[in-house]
Amino acid sequence: MAALDAESFDFWIGEWDCVFDGGHAVNTITREFEGNVLTERFVMDSPQAWRGMSVSVYDPKVDLWRQTWVDNDGSYWHFVGGLVDDNPSFGTPEPVDADPLFKRMVFTGITADAFDWRWESSPDGEEWTERWAVRYSRRA
């Protein structure tokens, strides 16, 4: 994955309605710690209650975004930032979980008030399968 700059995920900051096949969530992303950290709080209300959060940090010394994700299912994943077809993304640098699969999220169609987010997995880091697609709309 290619490196990004410190502002690459600024579009994500805010409070978002997240709509996907069969469900809805709210995702709130804030900038903290002198602007060096993005904190995400994801709360799904349907089709089931589910919560998670991430902390994303840009390290200018190595020109790299890093993210840690945790949730109420006990998931704990480490991602690195990069580009997928010129779109910002976070992906696991190695296969994770019992599967074991590479995992990544790709942000596309970014405007000031909306974007699409895809969750994908791959057994080899080459061939990717979409697992979850979410439409983000900025909350009024």
Give the tens place of pLDDT for each residue, 73-98: 999 999 999 999 999 999 999 999 88
Distance CA 16, CA 63 (A): 28
Of 47, 42, 70, 67, the residue nearest 57 (C-alpha): 67
Position 65 scores a pLDDT of: 95
Residue type (1 letter), 91: G
- Alpha carbon 81 to chain centroid, angstroms: 9
Q: Which pTM does this prediction carry?
A: 0.93
Domain residue extents for the chain: 10-138
For 10-138, CATH number out of 1.20.120.1780, 2.40.128.20, 3.30.2310.20, 3.30.230.10 equals 2.40.128.20
Helix residue spans in 1-140 (DSSP H): none
The segments of the chain whose pLDDT lies below 70 read: 1-3
3-class DSSP state for residue 109? coil
Position 3 scores a pLDDT of: 59
Position 27 scores a pLDDT of: 98
Task: Return the bridge partners of 135, or none.
Answer: 19, 116
